[in-house]
């Protein structure tokens, strides 16, 4: 492909479901730069910290550039033949349900469409499921129960038009930062706008909340059934909407009335006063949007939570109207696109239903398919169980890392290892999953591939290539189509390119769609490559104007919201209330007395395969940690920065303790990001259970019973090293990129160690390397530095407690010239870096401003986020850190006043 170096290419961010437009440019020297697309309707030019750092994540370091079979390099022909012949043979011997695909919301729609078509139309099994099962399944199931279709009714604009935003189980400030910023900006213009946050812990999102309801884990069903009862009791429902457009209100209200306010208070651990204030606010505010995410979906009652929320919006008629509606925000860049193509095991393409014989028949005719799947396939958790017990004999994993992200991950890893044939398509050569693949297929990465993604508001945007394909990498759609061709399905998979696949997908959405299916982009059925190349972001529905769906009764074609006037996708066109009764749920027991909640941090993405490459993003939080309430810390004799072991019946992790009253008592929170590539024992999903929601099959990743204990470390260490360390011989370690190399946190159960030998191996330093050392054995203090000529190859600092050396200073030494022996000695001298103030943990990734610098500026009189920006520039670029800066100002001004 021809890439025009001087031009800015309009593409879309590959991280979260906000789906921000990005302008990417390759300079003459090959340097890539990115900025927000001012014309994209998701972000209007904004980017968060992850989006801003995209250019740091696209180097070829660690990339898988050639196909491999059993660990040796192979040609494409051989690799594709091996995949096709093994799948064909397995299907011939054991039937179509003996094979499976496990795919991802990070595939582009075109990739996803082809993979789903191969499995559900040509292999004849529905054993294709996706990491969206861990992410969006409960929302999908809740939508389908209520609306008869998987429809997100609203748009981003509603967040700006609302008078009340209720955020449920969503850490928007860190996980959908640009939406958070849009809300923050709207709130500045209209200070009357209210925000309520429902989250067991006080996250950074609480910064814009007028009310934070620190709900008991999984108290949400009780909270929202209580709200429905309150709306009924206080005559705050929309009788007209209920009778014209819904069914089942009476039963739902009856079920809700079983729990009185005291019962709700007990189930949610909120006071009756808090509940009444929230309920009254909701009842009184017509323009209310309820935004929800993984605190809702990833639960054993996830689908009920979704319907409990939707019930309240149906009861008040607040749906599909400007500034009003339930709003499930999607996680991955193409979670929504995956749902459109039917990437889940219980759906067909184009929002058709696998249980519906007419839909199966329609798909069969459209694809001219030999074997349309007749029944739902295995959902993710079931799929890996079937792998473990040998029912699945060949598995193809694309664009996801289940050894790190599936619940009960050690068992998942064992199942993958035991499977006779595992294919992984990935962009990296080494991940915890790729290492177990028999065949490794090198996929094109962001910046190299072309296609479309759909964001949380149903907006379809192009991802466009601005880099050539390195090595032998190929786009995912090409890889799947080539395998399909070699399995004998050539006619249906040849002459493909992204534009043609998109046109086919659009045509299917409009095929025999008389308005009975919500997903319809039939207007693009005939799209050619030129139009596709220039495609502007658009929202669905976008039916062909010649179909009845194009002028569907009751829907204004210029309005892309759904359901303001009913017209639900149920047989009678009415939405369904779901009668829900909250169930009590005690998971803890004397052996595992604490509840572990899991999720995300601001600057890392999932299993860190991309954000882990960026020094900027790796400095915000550089190691795995667990948030512990001070009372629990005291109970288990844990001090701040201690190393702790968290265990469940399935596995254990070692992480750093972070003691904070933002956490609920009895609960812990730890991030999901760390893997074997970045830490000794940080794979959090080794702890989680395969317990799933009975309707959606989504695992309860936010509520796991665990035990906590201090890891008896005798020695702690911190190191910087220019080379990436290999095989670190320490009980605890966590490695993170910094500008000159790597920084490593360490802890050891033994105090007597040959520290010089350890340092040498950690730095990967040849024996002739000059080593300077300082040892104080009585105090347990050791400092060792290695130089090759004037440059620091590595420095190790060991102490009997958590090491106090300035991380920023130490990392910087890797980039400096140490010309004289005196300068080299300074690294191991008494107070390393003491003359340079430690910036502290990095808060502002864009300008590298640390917490200590911000505290100093607050002490010097800066009282607002803007004042800090003026003094230090922090928070003035992407703005993702503004909530944290505000929190630092609040705490420190409060302390100064004490
Ligand atoms: N920085 C960053 N952003 C991301 C991602 C990332 O990896 N990093 N991933 C993307 C993806 S795929 C997704 S799915 C989204 C996820 O986005 P979010 O859902 O916002 O993120 P999480 O941190 O998983 O969980 C959200 C919150 O749910 C809370 N919670 C836990 N249990 C409960 C409960 O019982 N009730 C309620 N009400 N809340 C509860 C947690 O305390 C947590 O703060 O983020 C997307 N954006
Ligand atoms: N405990 C706990 N576990 C969780 C969650 C949680 O909150 N708590 N959240 C869950 C959720 S919501 C999600 S979405 C999952 C995410 O979990 P995963 O999907 O496992 O995480 P990623 O790191 O995004 O994995 C993407 C993989 O695809 C590769 N890749 C990137 N681009 C491409 C491409 O274009 N083509 C191909 N073929 N490969 C590519 C990357 O290198 C990486 O290996 O984790 C789930 N697991
Ligand atoms: S909010 Fe950030 S991560 Fe999400 S799409 Fe926008 S720039 Fe990317
Ligand atoms: Mo997700």
Residue 637's contacts (CB-CB under 8 Å, 6 or more residues apart) are 710
**Of 408-422, 424-438, 441-455, 830-844, which range is least confident?**
830-844
Q: How far is the CA of 801 from the centre of ligand 4 (A)?
A: 37
**Of 227-241, 539-553, 843-857, which range is least confident?**
539-553
Q: Which ligand is nearest to the Cα of residue 178, counting in written order?
A: 3
pLDDT tens digit sequence for 540-580:
999 987 655 444 434 455 678 999 999 999 999 999 999 99
Residue 560 Cβ inside 6 Å of ligand 2? The answer reads no
* CB of 766 closer than 8 Å to CB of 787: no
Looking up residue 494, the CATH number of its domain turns out to be 3.40.50.740
Nearest to 880 by CA among 460, 463, 600, 466: 600
**Of 265-279, 440-454, 589-603, 865-879, which range is least confident?**
865-879
Q: Are residues 444 and 341 in the same domain?
A: yes
Looking up residue 15, the CATH number of its domain turns out to be 3.30.200.210
Q: How far is the CA of 397 from the centre of ligand 1 (A)?
A: 24
Looking up residue 696, the CATH number of its domain turns out to be 2.40.40.20
Reply yes or no on whether the pLDDT at 318 is more than 60.
yes
Out of 668, 688, 710, pick the residue that ends a domain.
710
Instruction: Give the CA distances from residue 729 to residues 11, 18, 652, 734, 747, in Å, rounded to whole numbers and listed in that order.
Output: 43, 41, 18, 12, 10
Q: What is the pLDDT of residue 140?
A: 98
**Of 77-81, 110-114, 268-272, 788-792, which range is least confident?**
788-792
pLDDT tens digit sequence for 382-406:
999 999 999 999 999 999 999 999 9
Atom of ligand 1 nearest to the CA of 299: 35
Reply yes or no on whether the pLDDT at 834 is more than 60.
no
Reply yes or no on whether the pLDDT at 775 is more than 70.
yes
Q: Are residues 142 and 221 in the same domain?
A: yes
CB atoms within 10 A of CB 694: 11
Give exposure, 783-792, as e/b (b: 16+ Cβ within 10 Å): bbbbbeeebb
Q: How far is the CA of 523 from the centre of ligand 4 (A)?
A: 30
Atom of ligand 1 nearest to the CA of 131: 12
Nearest to 684 by CA among 734, 631, 741: 734
Q: Are residues 684 and 756 in the same domain?
A: no
Residue 115 Cβ inside 6 Å of ligand 2? The answer reads no
Residue 150 Cβ inside 6 Å of ligand 2? The answer reads no
Residue 57 Cβ inside 6 Å of ligand 2? The answer reads no
Ligand 3 pocket by C-beta < 6 Å: which residues? 13, 15-16, 18-20, 43, 47-48, 50-51, 176-178
Q: How far is the CA of 166 from the centre of ligand 1 (A)?
A: 15
Q: Which ligand is nearest to the Cα of residue 332, counting in written order?
A: 1
Q: What is the pLDDT of residue 697?
A: 98
Q: Are residues 303 and 436 in the same domain?
A: no
- Closest residue to atom 12 of ligand 2, CA basis: 135
Residue 445 Cβ inside 6 Å of ligand 2? The answer reads yes
- Closest residue to atom 7 of ligand 2, CA basis: 599
For 292, the enclosing helix (H) or strand (E) is strand 288-292
Q: How far is the CA of 103 from the centre of ligand 2 (A)?
A: 10
Q: What is the pLDDT of residue 898?
A: 45
Reply yes or no on whether the pLDDT at 896 is more than 80.
no
In a domain, 555, yes or no: no
Nearest to 706 by CA among 721, 686, 734, 725: 686
Find the domain containing 101 and state its range. 68-136+334-550
pLDDT tens digit sequence for 481-540:
999 999 999 999 987 899 999 999 999 999 999 888 999 999 999 899 999 999 999 999
Tell me the average pLDDT across 358-384: 97
Q: How far is the CA of 202 from the centre of ligand 1 (A)?
A: 13
Q: Which ligand is nearest to the Cα of residue 477, counting in written order?
A: 2
Total domain count for the chain?
6
Out of 710, 725, 758, pick the residue that ends a domain.
710
Tell me the C-alpha distance between 711 and 722, whole Å: 29
Q: Are residues 520 and 637 in the same domain?
A: no
Tell me the C-alpha distance between 884 and 865, whole Å: 9
Q: How far is the CA of 177 from the centre of ligand 3 (A)?
A: 7
In a domain, 63, yes or no: no
Nearest to 728 by CA among 681, 687, 797: 681
Ligand 1 pocket mutation pick from 13, 14, 16 by most atoms within 8 angstroms of CB = 16
Q: Are residues 202 and 306 in the same domain?
A: yes
- Closest residue to atom 33 of ligand 1, CA basis: 295
Q: How far is the CA of 478 from the centre of ligand 4 (A)?
A: 25
DSSP, res 806: -
Out of 517, 550, 583, pick the residue that ends a domain.
550
Q: Are residues 435 and 476 in the same domain?
A: yes
Q: Are residues 418 and 373 in the same domain?
A: yes
Ligand 2 pocket mutation pick from 67, 400, 408 by most atoms within 8 angstroms of CB = 400
Ligand 1 pocket by C-beta < 6 Å: which residues? 16, 135, 168-171, 174-175, 198-201, 203, 215, 217-218, 220, 293-295, 299, 331-332, 597, 599-600, 602, 604-606, 669, 702
Q: How far is the CA of 721 from the centre of ligand 2 (A)?
A: 28
CB atoms within 10 A of CB 852: 17
In a domain, 564, yes or no: no
Three-class SS state of 857: helix
Strands 72-73 and 451-454: unpaired
In a domain, 194, yes or no: yes
In a domain, 579, yes or no: no
Reported confidence tier of residue 750, pLDDT bands at 50, 70, 90: very high
Tell me the average pLDDT across 579-603: 94
Ligand 2 pocket mutation pick from 103, 115, 412, 607 by most atoms within 8 angstroms of CB = 607
Residue 16 Cβ inside 6 Å of ligand 2? The answer reads no
- Closest residue to atom 2 of ligand 1, CA basis: 175
- Closest residue to atom 8 of ligand 1, CA basis: 605
Q: What is the pLDDT of residue 554?
A: 40
In a domain, 561, yes or no: no
Residue 400 Cβ inside 6 Å of ligand 2? The answer reads yes
Tell me the average pLDDT across 192-215: 97
Mean residue pLDDT of the chain comes to 94
Residue 160 Cβ inside 6 Å of ligand 2? The answer reads no
Q: What is the pLDDT of residue 586?
A: 85
Q: Are residues 312 and 390 in the same domain?
A: no
Reply yes or no on whether the pLDDT at 466 is more than 70.
yes
Q: Are residues 292 and 146 in the same domain?
A: yes
Q: How far is the CA of 157 from the centre of ligand 2 (A)?
A: 29
Quickly tell me which residue has 């949007």 as its tokens.
Answer: 289
Is 359 buried (19+), middle (13-18) or exposed (0-12) by CB count in 10 A?
Answer: buried
Q: What is the pLDDT of residue 890?
A: 86
Q: How far is the CA of 293 from the centre of ligand 1 (A)?
A: 6
Atom of ligand 1 nearest to the CA of 205: 44
Q: Which ligand is nearest to the Cα of residue 404, counting in written order?
A: 2
Atom of ligand 3 nearest to the CA of 333: 5
In a domain, 587, yes or no: no
Q: How far is the CA of 23 from the centre of ligand 3 (A)?
A: 13
Q: Are residues 128 and 167 in the same domain?
A: no
Q: Are residues 696 and 788 in the same domain?
A: no
Q: How far is the CA of 611 from the centre of ligand 3 (A)?
A: 13
Looking up residue 861, the CATH number of its domain turns out to be 1.10.10.1100
Nearest to 690 by CA among 387, 347, 345, 412: 412
In sign, the C-alpha dihedral spanning 402, 406, 408, 411 is negative
Ligand 3 pocket mutation pick from 178, 337, 446 by most atoms within 8 angstroms of CB = 178
Q: How far is the CA of 655 from the centre of ligand 2 (A)?
A: 21
Long-range contacts of 562-565 (CB under 8 A, 24+ apart): 562/147, 562/151, 562/152, 562/153, 562/319, 562/320, 562/518, 563/147, 563/151, 563/153, 563/245, 563/319, 563/320, 564/319, 564/320, 564/321, 565/245, 565/320
Q: What is the pLDDT of residue 551?
A: 43
Q: How far is the CA of 11 from the centre of ligand 3 (A)?
A: 12
* CB of 596 closer than 8 Å to CB of 651: no
- Closest residue to atom 19 of ligand 1, CA basis: 294
| Residue 898 or residue 101, greater confidence | 101
Looking up residue 198, the CATH number of its domain turns out to be 3.40.228.10
Reply yes or no on whether the pLDDT at 833 is more than 70.
no
Tell me the average pLDDT across 203-231: 97
Q: What is the pLDDT of residue 785?
A: 95
| Residue 585 or residue 862, greater confidence | 862
In a domain, 541, yes or no: yes
Q: What is the pLDDT of residue 582?
A: 86
């Amino acid at each position: 492909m021809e890439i025009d170096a001087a031009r800015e290419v309009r593409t879309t961010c590959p991280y979260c479901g906000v789906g921000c437009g990005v302008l990417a440019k390759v300079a003459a020297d090959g340097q890539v730069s990115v900025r927000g697309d001012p014309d994209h309707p998701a972000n209007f030019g904004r980017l968060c910290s992850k989006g801003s750092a995209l250019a740091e994540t696209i180097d070829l370091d660690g990339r898988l550039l050639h196909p491999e079979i059993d660990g040796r390099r192979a040609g494409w022909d051989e690799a594709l033949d091996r995949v096709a012949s093994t799948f064909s043979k397995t299907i011939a011997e054991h039937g179509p349900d003996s094979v499976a695909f496990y795919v991802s919301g990070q595939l582009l729609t075109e990739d996803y469409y082809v993979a789903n078509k191969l499995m559900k139309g040509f292999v004849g099994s529905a054993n294709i499921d996706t990491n969206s099962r861990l992410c969006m399944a409960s929302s999908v199931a809740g939508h389908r129960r209520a609306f008869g279709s998987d429809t997100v009714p609203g748009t981003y604009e509603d967040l700006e038009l609302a008078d009340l935003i209720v955020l449920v189980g969503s850490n928007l400030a860190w996980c959908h930062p640009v939406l958070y910023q849009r809300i923050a900006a709207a709130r500045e213009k209209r200070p009357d706008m209210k925000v309520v946050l429902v989250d067991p812990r006080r996250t950074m999102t609480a910064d814009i909340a007028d009310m934070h309801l620190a709900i008991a884990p999984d108290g949400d069903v009780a909270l929202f059934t209580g709200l429905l009862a309150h709306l009924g009791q206080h005559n705050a429902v929309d009788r007209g909407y209920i009778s014209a457009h819904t069914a089942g209100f009476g039963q739902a209200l009856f079920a809700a009335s079983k729990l009185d306010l005291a019962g709700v208070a007990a189930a949610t651990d909120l006071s009756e006063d808090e509940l009444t204030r929230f309920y009254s606010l909701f009842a009184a505010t017509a323009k209310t949007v309820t935004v929800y995410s993984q605190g809702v979906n990833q639960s054993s009652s996830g689908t009920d939570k979704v319907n409990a929320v939707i019930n309240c919006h149906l009861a008040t008629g607040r749906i599909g109207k400007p500034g009003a509606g339930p709003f499930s925000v999607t996680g991955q860049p193409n979670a929504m696109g995956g749902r459109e193509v039917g990437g889940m095991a219980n759906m067909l393409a184009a929002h058709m239903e696998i249980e519906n014989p007419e839909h199966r028949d329609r798909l069969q005719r459209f694809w001219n398919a030999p074997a349309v799947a007749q029944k739902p396939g295995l959902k993710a958790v079931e799929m890996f169980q079937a792998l473990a017990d040998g029912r699945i004999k060949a598995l193809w994993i694309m664009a996801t890392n289940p050894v790190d992200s599936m619940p009960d991950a050690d068992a998942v890893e064992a199942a993958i290892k035991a499977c006779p044939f595992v294919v992984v398509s990935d962009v990296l050569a080494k991940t915890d999953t790729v290492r177990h693949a028999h065949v490794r297929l090198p996929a094109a990465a962001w910046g190299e591939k072309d296609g479309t993604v759909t964001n949380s508001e149903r907006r379809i945007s192009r991802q466009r290539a601005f880099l050539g394909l390195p090595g032998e990498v190929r786009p995912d759609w090409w890889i799947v189509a080539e395998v399909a061709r070699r399995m004998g399905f050539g006619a249906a998979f040849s002459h493909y390119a992204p534009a043609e696949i998109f046109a086919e997908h659009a045509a299917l959405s409009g095929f025999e769609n008389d308005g009975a299916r919500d997903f319809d982009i039939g207007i693009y059925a005939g799209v050619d490559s030129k139009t596709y190349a220039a495609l502007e972001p658009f929202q669905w529905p976008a039916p062909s104007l010649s179909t009845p769906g194009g002028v569907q009764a009751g829907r204004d074609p210029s309005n892309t919201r759904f359901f303001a006037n009913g017209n639900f996708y149920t047989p009678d066109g009415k939405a369904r209330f779901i009668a829900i009764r909250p169930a009590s749920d005690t998971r803890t027991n004397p052996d595992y007395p604490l509840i572990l909640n899991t999720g995300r941090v601001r600057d890392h993405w999932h299993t860190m395969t991309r954000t882990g490459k960026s020094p900027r993003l790796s400095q915000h939080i550089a190691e795995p940690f667990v948030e512990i309430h001070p009372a629990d810390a005291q109970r288990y004799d844990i001090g701040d920065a201690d190393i702790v072991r968290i265990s469940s019946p399935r596995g254990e992790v070692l992480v750093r303790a972070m003691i904070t009253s933002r956490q609920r008592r009895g609960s812990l929170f730890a991030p999901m990001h760390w893997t074997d590539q970045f830490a000794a024992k940080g794979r959090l999903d080794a702890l989680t259970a395969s317990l799933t929601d009975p309707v959606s099959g989504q695992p309860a990743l936010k509520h796991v019973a665990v035990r906590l204990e201090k890891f008896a470390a005798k020695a702690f260490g911190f190191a910087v090293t220019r080379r990436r360390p290999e095989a670190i011989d320490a009980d605890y370690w966590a490695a993170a990129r910094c500008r000159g190399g790597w920084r490593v946190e360490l802890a050891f159960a033994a105090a007597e160690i040959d520290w010089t030998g350890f340092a040498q191996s950690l730095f990967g330093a040849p024996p002739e390397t000059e080593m300077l050392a300082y040892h104080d054995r009585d105090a347990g203090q050791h400092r060792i530095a290695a130089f090759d000529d004037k440059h620091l190859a590595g420095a190790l600092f060991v102490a009997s407690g958590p090491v106090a050396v300035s991380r920023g200073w130490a990392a910087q030494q890797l980039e400096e010239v140490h010309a004289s022996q005196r300068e080299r000695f300074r690294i191991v001298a008494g107070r390393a870096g003491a003359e340079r103030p430690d910036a502290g943990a990095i808060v502002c990734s864009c300008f590298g401003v640390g917490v200590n610098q911000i505290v100093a500026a607050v002490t010097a009189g800066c009282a607002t986020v803007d004042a800090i920006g003026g003094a230090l520039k922090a928070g003035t670029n992407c703005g993702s850190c503004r909530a944290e800066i505000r929190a630092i100002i609040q705490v420190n001004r409060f302390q100064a006043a004490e």
